[in-house]
Structure 1
Amino acid sequence: MSLRTWIPTLLTATLLPLLAHAAPEQHFKSEEGSLSVSTLAEGLKHPWALAFLPDGAGILVSERVGNLRIVSREGKVGAPLGGVPEVWAQSQGGLLDVVLSPDFKQDRMIYLSYAERGEDGKGGTAVGRGRLSTDRAKLEDFTVIFRQQPKLSDGLHFGSRLVFDREGYLFIALGENNQRPTAQDLDKLQGKVVRILPDGSVPKDNPFVGQANVRPEIWSFGHRNQQGAALNPWTGELWTNEHGPRGGDEINLPKPGKNYGWPLATHGINYSLLPIPEAKGEHVEGMVDPHHVWEKSPAISGMAFYDNPRFKAWDHSLFIGALASQELIRLQLDGDKVVHEERLLGELNARIRDVRVGPDGYLYLLTDDEDGALFKVGLDPQ
């Protein structure tokens, strides 16, 4: 082979594999400059959550149908992992959140939340953990550590997000199974934030430990359908967000033993346009008002605080996905106070289910669709 023919052949052999993984990039306007959006992976079946494996080993993605996959840095979607529990993929139910153990590099534990069907045909949220095998092909010794009791869902309002705090406690943000009054019932786990230890046991300093007819796992109550949760990196406090009914999506900072109002206090009405039967107003004495509220519901979902030096313009921002309005919401924070809101990426026409900040400082978004996608979002250099 002559040098003239060998060089193009070498370049083709070298570049084509790279081009095959090159993500198509789009650019959109924002207040802080041009946004670049790359499609990292496609063909995901209603993806729900993502988590970054350390050392660039890929991104775990849960699909609501019951699959847990690893997406490589180049965007290759791996086969479903083995050892994942059977899920109840009914309506809003299925495989939901995924988080790594705070000590993942030592214990390789992965925590999953998912909808689980009971013997009577009703469902509830369960949480379990398993060890990622060394070949990253399966979860080993998967064990259920938490079950929402009683099981009351017909396929709606499971929540559920998982967050570890700095002390290693696991918070689970739960929905009320579309059974409104249960959010106020302390003998039930619907509409609650619960706090447990990594093995599922109950911390002795939980606010209701030792009280008769009260679930000791409960941290806070009066929540509707919690779809986002994250730990504030500057304060260490848990933040959650939840769907209102027709109007009244809200952000809360759940404190131990506090009542966040649903369904007695709400800014929303029923989908029928009638009032919520139990509602007493937007503000009810003894209940905590929302930290932030949307009178018109975007149907907020996953959320992430931006705490990375890569894009200075996003410093102290909170990013939240929106399903109904099909946007990425950026809230600018001054301390804990929301001082500005920006709506982004409406041009994508995509239901944004999860938002995470990657180790590289880019945002990673999942879209809730039968042909769901994983997007990588950053700011173009100015």
Structure 2
Amino acid sequence: MRLEPPASGDPRDVVRALRAAVLGAGPAVALGGADLPGDAPAGTAVVVTTSGSTGVPKSVAISRNALIASAYATAARIGEGSWLLAVPATYVAGVQVMVRALLADREPAVLAGPFRPEPFAAAALGMASHDNGERVPTFTSLVPAQLQRLLDAADADPAVAQAVRSFEGILIGGQALAPAIRERALAVGARVIRTYGSSETSGGCVYDGVPLDGVGMRIVDGEVRLSGPTLADGYLGDPGRTASVFPVDDDGRRWYRTGDGGEIVDGVLRVTGRLDNVIVSGGVNVSLDRVEAAVRGIPGLESAVVVPIPDETWGQGSAVVVPGIAVSREADLLAAIRPVVAAAVGAPARPARVVAIGEMPALDSGKPDRALLRRRLDAGGDLARA
């Protein structure tokens, strides 16, 4: 199938290209990648290329059927309505916002330019509409950093607070949502739905720990695996990686190996973190995702990021990167963080450093750019001025 990029990076051009690819017979849409092959497997609607937070690029081929199955399953879980696109159109979360809107026969509202609370509020409040006298529900999809910015602004701006409350549902994905941010959102009146998924699952397919209709989940050797009609076809031009990441079981069912650790209790999934985001400190395996979750539970540190660093004594250690603090606070914060992490994860998991940074570097998706942080720390960079 022919593969073409949209006319431009403008989200409206992406909407037009997706309408042709998903609802018509248009070419498959190439998003986020350069030098892709000119063709994709039959039935492909979109190829999403992203380097992710680890810096490893991948081009995920997603079929028309998978996108439609995901959008309909979302509507069955949370309802139909109008959607506001506030995440990048070139990422799977943005793709699904647009596809859900198109399948509901509604044009998605688009937030243009860099994300800022005031334009978001104006766009959200401008979506109000009615069908036969009934209010049309509105929805949006955000990453945790965006939600936190909205909540910070809502403290002083009633319009932002009203906008956050106006949505029937706000899907939050891309990374774990700190409990403190979720509590603040609930206090404002936001209806937050935590989602779990990736490009390989056509976006979020597990909502608040419960899989969407048709989605299967299980734990194999501590790893979360997902199945169902929302799975992508695989990686464009990389059959070996596709076979490894999408194994087929003895019953002929295809699964996606997420690379995440987790557990399922009473049908509810709890993700514990990336299986490859583990360091060995003094011979003890330490999950940096668990360390980060403990740190983010401390008031004021909801945006902190934990990254690995070399340690002459223990082999590997970790640093807590905190945006918007003075360098003079590093020692005091480290003293406060270490006992909290020791209690939650264990003494070997205690971070070795706190590093101040002016502003957290982010990917286009809104996720922290962990690969860049690691490179700067490895190079001895001054993060406070970065």
TM-score (norm 1): 0.30
RCO comparison, higher one (Cα < 8 Å, 6+): 1
Q: Which structure carries more strand by proportion?
A: 1
TM-score (norm 2): 0.30
